[in-house]
Structure 1
Amino acid sequence: MFLKMKRLFSILFAAVLLNSCSEYQKVLKNEDVKAKYDLAEKFYNEGDYKRANRLLEQIAPKYIGKPQGERVMFFLANSYFENRDYNMAGYQFERFLKSYPKSDKAVEAGFLGAKSYYKLSPKYSLDQTDTDKALMKLQNFINTYPDAEYMAEANIMAKELTTKKERKAFEIAKQYKTIGEFDYSFLTPAVTAFDNFISDNPGSVYREDALYYKFMASTSLAMNSFDYLKKQRLTDAKSVYTVLKKYYPESGYLKDANKTLEKIDKELQNYSK
């Protein structure tokens, strides 16, 4: 009995699906804009954003300037978002806001538009042009709608993107230091890169790491310098250690840093004689 009911249900479901597909293809091909609007809304409300999107693409130009135009344009933009076509979603939400800046959906559109660009941000090791654009869109949303219900999520996304950009800058500086272990000419750029990173990102989660690696790079630079430069560079490296210890007295890096400091002090003794 159970198997018969299951089979019957499968047949009925297939029939409904076939009829739905048949209706969709029929409406998709005809010129009845109202029929397309009604079916697009039906699919959209059911969460079938792929088919809704295709119908909405066809009718959106027909509704420009009409009362339903606002609804159609929002549905179109959001169907792109739900289908994970974030390039088109971001573009369409921007169009929506330009066309309907006073819409009840303006805040949601502004947030989803910014979130679309957030979704396009690549991993930290790649070019961060899209991350810069996403940060700009998120900051614009935060400034425009400071009391929006989406503010907490917008701030979390902005922080994540900022941290991603910080990591890229930190890793570039760290790479200079790594290469500098084999080619001393890269040590000066390494120290400069860490210095710029610390200055530009005072609240970064990578600040402690940057101070430690700057100290190590500064020490290597000093130890491999000409004698007339060595004393000053050793003193500079020691100053970096002082900052690291001051701001991070419990740092896990201090054990290694202390051993390196001993080497610096031993070298500086040669200049006190």
Structure 2
Amino acid sequence: MRKFLYIVLITGTLASCSEYQKALKSEDTKVKYQLAERFFKEAKYKKASRLFEQIVPKYRGKPQGERVTYLYARSLFETGYYFTSAYQFERFVKTYPKSDSLQTASFLEAKSYYMESPRYSIDQKETIKAVDKLQSFINNYPDSKHLSDANVMVDELTTKIEKKAYEIAKQYNTISDYKSSIKATENFLSDYPGTSFREDAMFLKLSATYNLATKSFKTLMEDRFGEAASAYRSLVKFYPESKYREEADEIMATITEELAKFTK
């Protein structure tokens, strides 16, 4: 019995492959369309996408054009070709602004960009684009069933962008470019006032200003240690129980000692 079922399965698979190959080579658009629809319903998205790709141009301006274009974009998305699916959904939205599938297409366009977002250590151009697309969707469809998912994705991507910016400021401090670290940290705190990295950035500013002061000429030390003391006060004001408190207190003790030298 098992052997029989195995033979039936293999036979069915071969027949399906043969049918698919014939459709790819066929000049009959209807045959391609019907088989692409079937493959889509069977979740055979890669095969469906290849067939839809061949017939999309032939259905432009025709009643079936809207459905073919949408299913082509969906097939690409389900297959994981997010860069191409984003482009196809964008075309769909522009071409069929009155479609019943417009909202879903707009969400999947934005989600395609979200899926293309790289890890935080890489250039975040695509991440910024994904946030813009998702925010546009949220603004256009505030009552959408996809709203919750869109907000979660925006939060995730925003955190990634913030982490990238924070790590850049941190790297400057690591390589002893303290002026650049201070500037980058100040810009970071200004650009992302609600960031989850705010405490980290405020301690980083303290560390960078302190390090800069210790490496400065004597004529600049008093002012720079004063700036470091100000950074310390800001940190403990907003985060009195900071995870950096012990280290910050040690730095401040040294700052106090250094400033005392200028009052003698």
Q: 2:37 matched to 1:41?
A: yes
Deviation per residue, 1:231-260 (Å, 9 max, x gap): 111111111111111111111100011011
**Alignment-mate amino acid for residue 240 of structure 1:** A
CA apart distance, 1:25: 1.6
Shift of 1:269: 1.1
- Which 4+ stretches in 1 moved above 6 angstroms? none
| Residue 108 (structure 2) aligns with | 112
The answer on 1:260 being equivalent to 2:256 is no
Counterpart amino acid of residue 259 in structure 1: E
Task: Name which of 67, 73, 78 aligns with 1:77.
Answer: 73
Q: Which of residues 44, 53, 56 in structure 1 aligns to 2:52?
A: 56
TM-score norm. by structure 2 comes to 0.97
In structure 1, the gaps of 5 or more residues are 181-185
What RMSD over aligned residues (CA atoms) do the two structures have, in Å?
A: 1.0
Match of 1:177 in 2: 173
Out of 235, 252, 256, which is 1:244 matched to?
235
1:263 offset after TM fit, Å? 0.6
Equivalent-residue separation in structure 2 for 1:26 and 1:46 (angstroms): 19
Q: Give a deviation string over 1:20-70, Cα, whole Å, max 9, x none.
A: 111112222122111111111000000000111111111111111111111
How far did 1:139 drift? 1.4
Shift of 1:79: 0.6
1:173-195 CA distances to partner (integer Å, 9 max, x unpaired)?
11111111xxxxx1111111111
3-state DSSP class of the match of 1:134?
Answer: helix
Aligned to 1:227: 218
Q: Does 1:215 align with 2:215?
A: no
Further displaced range: 24-33 or 70-79: 24-33
CA distance in 2, matches of 1:54, 1:269: 75
The residue identity in structure 2 corresponding to 1:126 is: I
Q: Any idea what SS the aligned residue of 2:175 has? A: helix
- 3-state secondary structure, aligned to 2:133: helix
Q: Deviations over 1:89-116 (max 9, x none)?
A: 0000011001111111001000000111
Determine helix, strand or coil for the equivalent of 1:251: coil
Matched, 1:269 2:256: no
Cα offset, 1:228, TM superposition: 2.1
Which of the residues 131, 134, 138 maps onto 1:138?
134
3-state SS in 1 of match to 2:71: helix
Match of 1:128 in 2: 124
Q: CA deviation at 1:209?
A: 0.6
**Cα distance between partner residues in 2 of 1:82 and 1:254:** 49
Query: For residues 64 and 220 of structure 1, what CA distance do their matches in structure 2 show?
Result: 64
Q: CA deviation at 1:130?
A: 1.0
The whole-number CA distance in structure 1 between the counterparts of 2:179 and 2:16 is 68
SS in structure 2 at match of 1:225: coil
Secondary structure of 1:19's match? helix
Shifted more, 46-55 versus 28-37: the winner is: 28-37
Specify the code of the residue in structure 2 equivalent to 1:269.
Answer: A
In structure 2, the partner of 1:6 is 2
Aligned residues: 264
In 1, the alpha carbon distance for the partners of 2:26 and 2:166 equals: 57
The separation in 1 between residues aligned to 2:181 and 2:17, in whole angstroms, is: 61
The residue aligned with 1:164 is 160
Structure 2 distance, partners of 1:55, 1:178, is 53
Distance in 2 (alpha carbons) for counterparts of 1:251 and 1:119: 35
Work out the CA distance in 1 between the residues paired with 2:15 and 2:175: 65
* 2:81 counterpart of 1:90: no
**Matched AA of 2:91:** R
Give me the TM-score of the superposition, normalised by structure 1: 0.94
- Structure 2 residues not aligned, in runs of 5+: none
Name the aligned partner's letter for residue 41 of structure 2.
N
Separation in 2, partners of 1:15, 1:145 = 48
CA distance in structure 2 between the partners assigned to 1:178 and 1:20 by the alignment: 59
